Amino acid sequence: MSDRFALTGARIFDGDDWHEGHALVVRDGLVEAILPTGAIPSDIRVVDTGGGLLAPGFVDLQVNGGGGVMLNDHPDVASIETICRAHAPFGTTALLPTLITDTPAITAAAVAAGEAAARQKVPGFLGLHLEGPHLSVARKGAHDPVLIRPMTDADQAMLIAARQKLPVLLTTIAPESVEPARVAVLAKAGIIVSLGHSDTGYAAASAFAEAGASMITHLFNAMSQIGNREPGLAGAAIDIGTLSAGLIADGIHVDPATIKIALRAKQGPARIVLVTDAMATIGTEMTSFTLNDRTIYRRDGSLRLADGTLAGADLDMISAVRFIHRVVGVELSEALRMASLYPAQAIGQSHRLGRFANGTAADIVALSDDLDTKGVWIGGEKVFAAGSDTVR
């Protein structure tokens, strides 16, 4: 017997347009239709969401941890499950657990865990993001410089083999450590290649985009900046229309005025997308944790090494949406798209994520008018309800 229900009582944003006085109909984990409330079939269950709005669940392409867990410290399926559960209350229904630069052994364990999570269909698991180790030491950020190294034939083969067993594989590389020919091979194999942690110039970034790189990792952070005679990687991210760019919208990593400038200037069709770059702290009260045997401190809304270097973000996706809407001034529908449709497009998953249409995943976030999370569904199953002590 099929599981079919209709969500009513809220404005519905389908990824493109708003619907008033309508219901979102779900069947067997997929969106079936958006219907006027008067047209709901009499034989299906009706759930009144009590006002507010319904929107496609958020898609986060850079999540290092959550629920007290870092993927680097525990590269296993249990940690992936914990991270996905930790982000669900904040509206994230699909995410890429992200491995920060580490040893080949830890990288192999993370890939194996991702492959197992895909087989087990862990709710919220979208694939993996391997951020490094093929970066630039000059723009290392919080990555351990001892572990940064050039890409080898074996590394390339490992990535291609992993992609064959993962629904999505994204890797952040720097032109200083990877040849364009390798990027072309990776992109042809279906791997999303993102440029980041790099001091490269505009010309090299353009060449890598032509080779197949299609993203930029955390725009303006750990990269060459826009200058009067050299646009840098930041300038390439904004000017090259095939490059999507992740953005950490917390007011700490990038100034609101800089975000406004970037949004006005960004060339399409690729877009700026919201990412959290979240660490283990999300969903917890912890005040510190470790990464590669270094302590990271949680203070004043940021996460930093002892020397003050930013180390990821203490950010969840609904907070990023509120910030980009309320502080930066982005219209609400566009803010929601930056957290759902645009990241789904960046990784080739917009046919099933980031919008409500017949046959798309019933990944849904219910928000109050104040943009607080009221409920979350992944594949039509409710995994979070405000006021509940548990997240399924």
Residue 386 amino acid letter? A
| Coil/strand/helix, residue 137 | helix
- Residue 315 sits at φ, ψ, to 5 deg, of -140, 140
Region 310-336 average pLDDT: 97
**pLDDT surpasses 70 at 110:** yes
Average pLDDT, whole number, for the chain?
Answer: 96
Residue 279 phi, psi (nearest 5): -115, -170
pLDDT class for 391, splitting at 50, 70, 90? Answer: low
Structure tokens at 45: 């269950």
- What's the CA gap between 124 and 81, in Å, rounded? 8
**pLDDT per position as a tens digit, 244-303:** 999 999 999 999 999 999 999 999 999 999 999 999 999 999 999 988 888 999 999 999
Q: What is the pLDDT of residue 386?
A: 86
CA distance 164 to 191: 10
Which ranges in the chain belong to alpha helices (H)?
77-87, 104-120, 153-163, 180-188, 202-211, 232-239, 256-265, 317-322, 332-339, 341-346
% of the chain beyond a pLDDT of 70: 98
pLDDT one-digit tens code per residue, 206-235: 999 999 999 999 999 999 999 999 999 999
CB within 8 Å of 330: residues ≥ 6 apart: 263, 324, 338
392 has a pLDDT exceeding 90: no
Average pLDDT, integer, range 173-200 = 98
Q: Provide the 3-class DSSP secondary structure of residue 321.
A: helix
**Can you tell me the distance from the alpha carbon of 292 to that of 70, in angstroms, rounded to the nearest whole number?**
10
Stretch (H or E) spanning 377: strand 373-378
Q: Which amino acid is at 317?
A: M
The answer to whether 250 and 352 are in contact (CB under 8 A) is no
What is the per-residue pLDDT for 281?
A: 95
In this structure, are residues 13 and 54 in contact, taking their beta carbons and an 8 Å threshold?
yes
Which are the catalytic amino acids?
277
Determine the Cα angle at 302 with ends 301 and 303, to 5°: 140
Q: What is the pLDDT of residue 219?
A: 98
Nearest to 310 by CA among 190, 57, 77, 141: 141
The confidence score (pLDDT) of residue 1 equals: 44
Average pLDDT, integer, range 336-341: 98
Residue range 91-100: mean pLDDT, rounded: 98
Closest CA to 26 of 64, 51, 50, 56: 56
pLDDT one-digit tens code per residue, 124-164: 999 999 999 999 999 998 899 999 999 999 999 999 999 99
